[in-house]
Chain A
Amino acid sequence: MVTASPHRPDGRPAPARQATLGESLRRNGVSRRGFLKFCAATASMMALPPSMAPAIAAALESARRPSVIWLSFQECTGCTESLTRSFSPTVENLILDTISLDYHHTLQAAAGDAAEHAREAAMHANAGEYLVVVDGSLPGPGANPGYSTIAGISNYDMLMETVADAAAVIAVGSCAAFGGLPKASPNPSGAVAVQDLVKDKPVINVSGCPPLPMVITGVLAQYLTFGKLPELDQYNRPLAFFGQSIHDRCYRRPFYDKGLFAETFDDEGAKKGWCLYRLGCKGPMTYNACATMKWNGGTSWPVEAGAPCLGCSEPDFWDAGGFYDALSVPPGNSGDMLLAAGAAGVAVGAGVGLLARSQAKGAAKQHQTVTAEELEQKL
C-alpha cells in the first residue's frame, strides 16, 4: 500500500536518500534472473533489439523513484483495478511499488485535507519532475464543474493546477485519453479528455477500457529507463504497444484470411474458434497489445474467450456502431432513410417525368405537318 511520501522542506528531490529501483526490487525478493527477464520483455515491447535488455536493466537498476501523482476523475476505477488486481506480486506491481505514488485517492491511506496536502506537498517537492497519471475524463471548462469535484475542487481546476509543474502527463484508460464512456453521446457532463486541456506538457495516452496493466508499467519503465517519453502514434499512444492492430496479431486471423467466420455465438464456427468479424469484432481497426500480451497474467483475452473485440482502446469506441455489428455496418438506421429518400425520388421523378412527357405532347400539338409541297420547295 502506498502512503503519502514524507514532506521535503527544501522543495527539491533528495535522490541520495532514496533507494534505487534495483535495490527496491531485490529487497522485495525479485531475483536478478526475474529482473532481467522483465527487462528483456520490456525491450521487446518497446520494439528494441534483445541486446538492449542489459542497458535497460542497468538503467532501471540505477533509476530513482520518481514522484507520481495519480488523479482520478470521471472514472470507474477499472483502470486502477487493472493495475492492481494481480494474483501474486509481479514485477509490474513491484515497479509500481517502487515509484513514489504520492497521491492516489483510491489507494492512499490519507483522506480529506491530509490527502490534498500530500498532493500539494509532492507537487511542491518535485516541481518540474513529477509525473501526473490521470484516469477518467473531466467536465470541460464550458461544462458545469459540479458534475465531478474532489474536496470541493473541480476536476478541471485540480488538473490544471497539478499539471502546471509536472514533467509529463500519462492519461490512463480511454476516458482520460479520449473522453471514454462519460463523453459518449450525448455527453451530459461535457466530458473532455486530458489532451483536450493540457497543451503545454507532453501527454501520453495509455488507452483501453481498461488498459493492459503491463502497458501502464511498460510506459513507466520506459520513462524510467530512458528518461524520456516513448515514441507516440497519432493519438499520442506509445507506438511500442499500440503500433499493431488486434487483427494483425490475432491468433484467429488465419480464419479471416480463409473466410471462415462464426455467425452466431453458438454456431459451429464459434465452437471451432473461427473469426469473429461478423459478430462485430473491431479488431481490424483497434490498435492494442491484447493479442500478444493477453490478460490476467497471460491467461487469455477477449477474442480467445470467444467475444469480439469491442475496440475499447480507440477514440469514441462507445459511439462507433453496435458492439455486435460488423465493422462495415454503419451506425444509425439507413433503411428508413432509404425509404424516405426513395419515396422522394419517386415523387420528384414522376413530377419531372410527367413534365417532360407533357413537353413531348406539347411538341406534338405544335407539329406542323410535313407536306410534299414543302419538300418540293427545297428542290
Chain B
Amino acid sequence: MTAVEFLMLTKGPLFQAALAVFALGVLVRLVEILALGRAHNYAAPRGSAALGGLRTMYKRFEPDPGTFKAAPFDVVVGMVWHIGFIVALLLFIPHVELIKSTFGIAWPALPNPVVDAITAITILGLLAALVHRLAHPVKRFLSTPEDYLIWGVTFLVMITGYLAYHRLINPYPLALGIHILAAEIFLVVLPFTKLTHMFTAFVARYYNGATFGRKGVQS
C-alpha cells in the first residue's frame, strides 16, 4: 500500500466507519443513561434544581480554591492539557475545514503557530499527567488498564498531529494518514471507555448541580 492509498483509506472508508461507531456509540451511551431516569422527588425544594444543574455544568470548570491548594499539579496540568486538546481539536484550521464539511458549521480558527505551541504544551501536559498517574499513590491505586489505554489513544492523536504538522514523518500523506488513523482509534475507543466523560460529565454535572440546587446549594 502506498502512502497516498493509506491516506485515502484513512480519510475515506475508515473515517466514515469510525465516525459511525462514534456517533452510534456515544448516543447509545447517552440515551441509555438518560433512559434510566430518576425517581420522583417528593421533598419540597429550597431552590431551583434545573438552574443549579445548569450552573454546575459550567462551574466545575473552575476548581475550588481548596482543591487547587490540595492538588495544584492536578488542577493546572489537567486544565492545561484539556484546554490544549480542545483548542487543537476545534481551532486548528484543517480541523475547522473538516468540521465545516461534516456538519456544515464553521467558526474562526487560530493561527497555526498558536495551535502549534498549544499542541506542544498539551503533549508535555499529557506526559506530565502520565508520570503523575504512575507516581501518585491515589492515582496509581485507582488506575486500571483502561485508564492507561485512554491516555494512550489521546496522546497518540496529539503526537501524530504534531509530527504531521511539522512534517517529521515522510512522506506527508503517511504522516497525515497516521494522524487521521489515530483520531479514528480515538473515536472508536471513545464510546466504549471512560472517554465518554467528554459528554457524560455534563450529564453528571447537571444531576449533581440539580441535587444540590434543589437544596439551595450551588455545587
Residues of A at under 8 Å CB distance from B?
Answer: 233-235, 245, 247-248, 256-261, 277-278, 284-285, 287, 314-316, 319-321, 325-332, 334-335, 337-338, 340-342, 344-346, 348-350, 352-354, 356-357, 360
A167 CB to nearest chain B CB (Å): 26
Which A residues lie within 8 Å of B97 (CB)?
A: 278, 325-326, 328-329
Which B residues lie within 8 Å of A345 (CB)?
A: 23-28, 31
Are A350 and B8 in contact, with the CB atoms below 8 A?
no
Q: Which of A319, A328, A334, A349 contacts B28 (CB 8 A)?
A: A349
Are B101 and A316 in contact, with the CB atoms below 8 A?
no
Residue of A256, A350, A360 with most partner-chain B CB within 10 A: A350
Which B residues lie within 8 Å of A352 (CB)?
A: 28, 31-32, 35
Are B30 and A349 in contact, with the CB atoms below 8 A?
yes
Are B93 and A261 in contact, with the CB atoms below 8 A?
yes
Are B110 and A259 in contact, with the CB atoms below 8 A?
yes
Which B residues lie within 8 Å of A354 (CB)?
A: 35
Q: Which of A319, A327, A349 contacts B35 (CB 8 A)?
A: A349
Task: Say whether, besides A234-B3, A316-B8, A329-B101, A349 and B27 are in contact (CB < 8 Å).
Answer: yes
Known: A233-B171, A234-B2, A257-B112. 7 other contacts (CB 8 A): A325-B97, A326-B93, A329-B98, A334-B15, A348-B31, A349-B30, A353-B31
> Does B89 interact with chain A (Cβ within 8 Å)?
no
29 contacts between A and B (CB under 8 A): A235-B2, A247-B172, A258-B112, A259-B113, A260-B111, A285-B4, A285-B7, A315-B5, A319-B8, A325-B101, A326-B97, A326-B98, A330-B11, A330-B15, A330-B98, A330-B101, A334-B16, A334-B19, A335-B103, A337-B19, A338-B102, A342-B27, A349-B27, A350-B31, A352-B28, A353-B32, A353-B36, A356-B35, A356-B36
Which B residues lie within 8 Å of A245 (CB)?
A: 167, 171-172
> Does B34 interact with chain A (Cβ within 8 Å)?
yes
- Closest partner residue, chain A, to B7 (CB atom): A285
Which A residues lie within 8 Å of B20 (CB)?
A: 337-338, 340-341
Q: Mark B57-96, 1 if CB is under 8 A from A, else 0.
A: 0000000000000000000000000000000000001110
> Does B12 interact with chain A (Cβ within 8 Å)?
yes
B177 CB to nearest chain A CB (Å): 10
Are B35 and A315 in contact, with the CB atoms below 8 A?
no
A235 CB to nearest chain B CB (Å): 6
Q: Which of B33, B94, B104, B171 contacts A327 (CB 8 A)?
A: B94
A332 to B101, CA, bound (A): 10
> Does B109 interact with chain A (Cβ within 8 Å)?
yes
A326 to B176, CA, bound (A): 13
Which A residues lie within 8 Å of B16 (CB)?
A: 330, 332, 334, 337
Which A residues lie within 8 Å of B204 (CB)?
A: none
A256 to B3, CA, bound (A): 23
Task: Say whether, besides A258-B113, A349-B30, A353-B34, A328 and B98 are in contact (CB < 8 Å).
Answer: yes
B112 CB to nearest chain A CB (Å): 5
Which B residues lie within 8 Å of A233 (CB)?
A: 171
Which A residues lie within 8 Å of B172 (CB)?
A: 245, 247, 284-285
- Closest partner residue, chain B, to A258 (CB atom): B111
Which B residues lie within 8 Å of A335 (CB)?
A: 102-104
- Closest partner residue, chain B, to A335 (CB atom): B102
A315 to B2, CA, bound (A): 9
A315 to B103, CA, bound (A): 29
Are B112 and A330 in contact, with the CB atoms below 8 A?
no
> Does B215 interact with chain A (Cβ within 8 Å)?
no
Which A residues lie within 8 Å of B198 (CB)?
A: none
Are B176 and A327 in contact, with the CB atoms below 8 A?
yes
Residue of B2, B29, B172 with most partner-chain A CB within 10 A: B172
A112 to B217, CA, bound (A): 95
- Closest partner residue, chain A, to B21 (CB atom): A341
B4 CB to nearest chain A CB (Å): 5
> Does B47 interact with chain A (Cβ within 8 Å)?
no
- Closest partner residue, chain B, to A260 (CB atom): B111
A269 to B94, CA, bound (A): 17
Residue of B8, B23, B98, B167 with most partner-chain A CB within 10 A: B23
Which B residues lie within 8 Å of A278 (CB)?
A: 93, 97
Which A residues lie within 8 Å of B2 (CB)?
A: 234-235, 315
Are B32 and A356 in contact, with the CB atoms below 8 A?
yes
- Closest partner residue, chain A, to B23 (CB atom): A341
A225 to B26, CA, bound (A): 62
- Closest partner residue, chain B, to A359 (CB atom): B36
Q: Which residues in window 126-156 of B have CB below 8 A to A?
A: none
Residue of B34, B94, B110 with most partner-chain A CB within 10 A: B94
- Closest partner residue, chain A, to B34 (CB atom): A353
Residue of A256, A316, A329, A349 with most partner-chain B CB within 10 A: A349
Q: Which of A277, A285, A329, A357 contacts B173 (CB 8 A)?
A: A285
A327 to B22, CA, bound (A): 22
A246 CB to nearest chain B CB (Å): 10
B13 CB to nearest chain A CB (Å): 8
Which A residues lie within 8 Å of B3 (CB)?
A: 234
A260 to B146, CA, bound (A): 41
A342 to B111, CA, bound (A): 32
